[in-house]
Structure 1
Amino acid sequence: MMAPMPPAADTTASPRTGARSQTERPSPASGTYSGWLFAVTIAVAAFNLRPVVTSLGPLLDQVRAGLGMNPTVAGLLTAVPSLCFGLFGFAAPAMARRVGPIAVVTAGMGAITAGVLARSFAGGTAVFLLLTALALAGVAVSNVLIPVVIKRYFPDRVGPMIGLYSMALSAGTSLAAAVTVPLTGALGGDWRYGLGIWAALGALALVLWVMIALVKRERGDRAGGPAADRLPITRSRTAWAMACFFGLQATGAYVAMGWLPKIFQDSGVDKGTSGVLLALTMVIGVPVSFVLPNLAARRGDQRLFVLVLGSCGIAGYAGLALAPATLSWVWAILVGLSNCAFPLVLTMIGLRARTAGGVVQLSAFAQGVGYLISIPGPILIGRIYQVTGEWYGPLGFLALLLVPQMLFGLRAAMARHIEDEAVRPKPAEVEA
């Protein structure tokens, strides 16, 4: 049973803003043949949003050797995704207002396909970094605008559609991390083929999105919200809470992806098993990412889910610190459940705005600021480990970060709308 979304369907004037909702339903896609095709198109796009990152990690040593990349530049690669997600994500609303979110996501799929394919032929480090940044730019704008597309074309199916999107994203993340190395071996052992093969899925997504763009034929201002309706979003406490919640959960997720195998290996777990445990951490997010948004959308607020996921993280990090080799699969599952704050925050972005334009702004603000917040996390964790030589300090720090994450999450999860908070002062009030 799909959850209705009253806020998404609200077409009455807000008592505080005096503005009529801009959540337009030009051609709701749910429940039709074209709707199913659109849903598949969104899922294929989501599947392509992480392989550009997770396919590189397992082959990083080979890439370094092949390009003559020094360790400092290789370390920079771990921070580039968050930086690009933040910076390019901020540009997404202006682009959507100009040509519409569907056209921008279509261009994003093109950037991902071109960047992933072309970087596999790069002859030097600088070109490789630039082409990786091109692909990440496509990921960034798609990160921001796919939830907006869902809000607009599936207004009464926001929870299930965010669930589908999150599940496909988690599946792409897990599959790229798990099969890139054996796939490279099957293709002759050259890292260029192992990275470039993922452009094939990008090309499929591009074809599907071109078809959708031709059918929908969006207009920019209508899709992104007219300039007069743009909110001073920095005045909204909910928007700031959402951004901080997003940034802190992203910190935990990137640390887990980057450091979890090392944590297990230092406790005596062999490399093969540590890789399986990392895969378990990511795979657990696939079914949860599908179910959680639907459950969250049924409730007036999502504070219960914020507390449950945060508590899973604290328990998982405590287990990793005290007995990492004992019940290691339990700690991996708990950390994976904690990382499911990602589909939860995506769901909340769709619920905390009344209008399509509001979702665009909130999505860009929360993800842009959030990813910038997440940049120092993995670097700081590595520094603490380097200084102490043990994992007690880094894991304790991660557990401690979950406290403000839950506090910001509790504020962001309250049943409020940014349009009611980001109120523009009336001219008379400005003069006074």
Structure 2
Amino acid sequence: MSPPSSIAAPLPSALPTRAALAARPATGGALIVVGILLVAINLRAAITSLGALLDEVTTGLHLSGTTAGIITTLPALSFAAFGGLTPVLARRLGASRLLIAAMGVLAVGQALRALTGSTVVFLLTSALALAGIAIGNVLLPVLVKQHFPTRTGLLTGVYTMTLIAGTSTAAALSVPIAHAFGSWRAGLGVWALLAVAALVPWLFTRPARTTGPTDPAAALARIRPARTGLGWAMALFFGLQALSGYAAMGWLSQIFRDAGYPATTSGLLLAGVALVGVPIALLMPTIAGRGVNLRALVLLMSTAMAVSYVGLWLAPSTAPLLWVALLALGQGAFPLSLAMIGMRARTSEGTVALSAFAQSVGYLIAALGPLLVGILYETTGAWTMPLAFLFGAAVLQAFAGLAAARPRYIEDEAAG
């Protein structure tokens, strides 16, 4: 009996078999791994460095409160907008060359926004940098599947862990760097060098042989996830877990402060979510790729998240470490969702299409999380309604994840 995460039905003749995929050698080997990890460490640095220096940037550029609010929602909105363009660009340039362009755009955007004194230019160059990140978000699952078809779980876990490390590193070092150089501009601009470093390995690698039909453009044009149940299930699962993640990053520290903890302790508890999440991010895709029942994993992640919200509502000061650990376990849905994108597509074209759709729609959903939590908190003056909203999102996440975990492929649904 085949495991729940695989399909026993024979593949169409136009597509390679699983054995044929396994026979394809990795292209570039260690250099490709280095390239993937360098890209991953860049995928949140531009965001968390700005978050750490937002007060200094607001003062330096004389930003209004409204403009500062726009800046905080810009990442999710940019991911939604630019991620949707990635399949078209990948079709024309190829995944590797497009990734080089994306890292170049990221480097230029970060450098220019650190130099400008104009609010409008700062917003535009921030959007430019985020466009590079959005494309990288979509392409990494594709490149992992292309170059390491038999090790997608392991590589997905490693690059997700690296992404989390990059998030924390930029948040921790941006302020000290700014202080060392006497300007917030240094704290933002230094990360452009990291983006330049990320594109270098890809300049010396050859593209992987893609899997699937001989006409990738025609194949990709036929794969429209928006017209499939799997596409929407993946988009909702990805979006709802991201909504919870963004809301936690924005408000968890405040929840603990309102429960009576000092600011320093509240910040450490927030950092604990990322710390506990590192081994989970490493292991989750590997576990998912070894035939473990994906539905069981979905239920585990969603239940942990829901229980954490109940605990934060009823007894935030009773067992804070437990709520942090459960929330970190629940946020293991992020690496799980990335792994599922690759597992629900047979071809590189299918992976690009599903990754772009799930992340574009998903980040649009995610943008609502911190905003709605803030509105509910400000309106009611308490955490009951915001946490009830997040509990409901975790329940919906479970249903969407269970639907996405059903063993099928996006190419089959698109053809049907």
Q: Structures share a fold, TM > 0.5? A: yes
Q: 1:117 to 1:29 in 2, by over 3 A?
A: farther
Structure 1: distance between partners of 2:159 and 2:208: 22
In structure 1, what is the equivalent of residue 61 of structure 2? 67
In structure 1, what is the equivalent of residue 402 of structure 2? 410
Q: Secondary structure at the match of 1:120?
A: helix
In structure 2, what is the equivalent of residue 225 of structure 1? 216
Structure 2: distance between partners of 1:219 and 1:252: 35
Alpha-carbon shift at residue 308 of structure 1 (Å): 0.7
Deviations 1:395-431 (A, max 9, x none): 121011111100000110121111222225xxxxxxx
Structure 2: distance between partners of 1:201 and 1:11: 45
Kept in 2: contact 1:11–1:20 (CA 8 A): no
Q: After TM superposition, list the pairs within 5 Å mapping 1:166-181 onto structure 2.
A: 166-181=160-175
1:377 has 2:369 as partner: yes
In structure 1, what is the equivalent of residue 360 of structure 2? 368
1:250 has 2:242 as partner: yes
Q: 1:202 to 1:78 in 2, by over 3 A?
A: same
In structure 1, what is the equivalent of residue 195 of structure 2? 202
Structure 1: distance between partners of 2:243 and 2:107: 27
Structure 2: distance between partners of 1:28 and 1:84: 35
- Range that drifts further, 97-106 or 327-336: 327-336
- Range that drifts further, 219-228 or 378-387: 219-228
In structure 2, what is the equivalent of residue 120 of structure 1? 114
1:54 has 2:45 as partner: no
Q: After TM superposition, list the pairs within 5 Å mapping 1:25-424 onto structure 2.
A: 28=24, 30=26, 34-188=28-182, 190-212=183-205, 215-216=206-207, 225-228=216-219, 230-299=222-291, 301-423=293-415
Equivalent residue in structure 1 for 2:15, among 8, 14, 20: 20
Structure 2: distance between partners of 1:382 and 1:224: 48
In structure 2, list runs of 5 or more residues that go unmatched. Answer: none
- Range that drifts further, 218-227 or 107-116: 218-227
The residue type paired with residue 174 of structure 1 is S
Alpha-carbon shift at residue 6 of structure 1 (Å): 7.4
Alpha-carbon shift at residue 234 of structure 1 (Å): 2.5
- Range that drifts further, 402-411 or 392-401: 392-401
Structure 2: distance between partners of 1:330 and 1:183: 34
Structure 2: distance between partners of 1:338 and 1:140: 24
The residue type paired with residue 84 of structure 1 is S
Q: Secondary structure at the match of 1:294?
A: helix
Alpha-carbon shift at residue 67 of structure 1 (Å): 0.3
Q: Secondary structure at the match of 2:415?
A: coil
Kept in 2: contact 1:28–1:152 (CA 8 A): no
Alpha-carbon shift at residue 329 of structure 1 (Å): 2.2
Q: Secondary structure at the match of 2:137?
A: helix
The residue type paired with residue 202 of structure 1 is A
Alpha-carbon shift at residue 110 of structure 1 (Å): 0.8
Q: 1:217 to 1:332 in 2, by over 3 A?
A: closer
Q: 1:281 to 1:29 in 2, by over 3 A?
A: farther
Structure 1: distance between partners of 2:211 and 2:343: 23
Q: TM-score, normalised by structure 1?
A: 0.89
In structure 1, list runs of 5 or more residues that go unmatched. Answer: 425-432
Alpha-carbon shift at residue 41 of structure 1 (Å): 1.1
Deviations 1:136-170 (A, max 9, x none): 00000111111111111111111101111111111
Kept in 2: contact 1:267–1:324 (CA 8 A): yes
Q: 1:335 to 1:128 in 2, by over 3 A?
A: same
- What's the % identity of the aligned pairs? 45
Structure 1: distance between partners of 2:53 and 2:32: 34
Q: 1:392 to 1:6 in 2, by over 3 A?
A: closer
Kept in 2: contact 1:64–1:70 (CA 8 A): yes
Count of equivalent residues: 411
Deviations 1:76-111 (A, max 9, x none): 112111111011001101111111011111111111
Structure 2: distance between partners of 1:71 and 1:223: 52
Alpha-carbon shift at residue 177 of structure 1 (Å): 1.9
Q: Secondary structure at the match of 1:54?
A: helix
Q: 1:49 to 1:222 in 2, by over 3 A?
A: farther
Structure 1: distance between partners of 2:50 and 2:215: 34
Kept in 1: contact 2:99–2:199 (CA 8 A): no
Kept in 2: contact 1:12–1:21 (CA 8 A): no
Structure 2: distance between partners of 1:156 and 1:49: 24
Q: 1:161 to 1:220 in 2, by over 3 A?
A: closer
Alpha-carbon shift at residue 174 of structure 1 (Å): 1.6
Q: Secondary structure at the match of 2:29?
A: helix
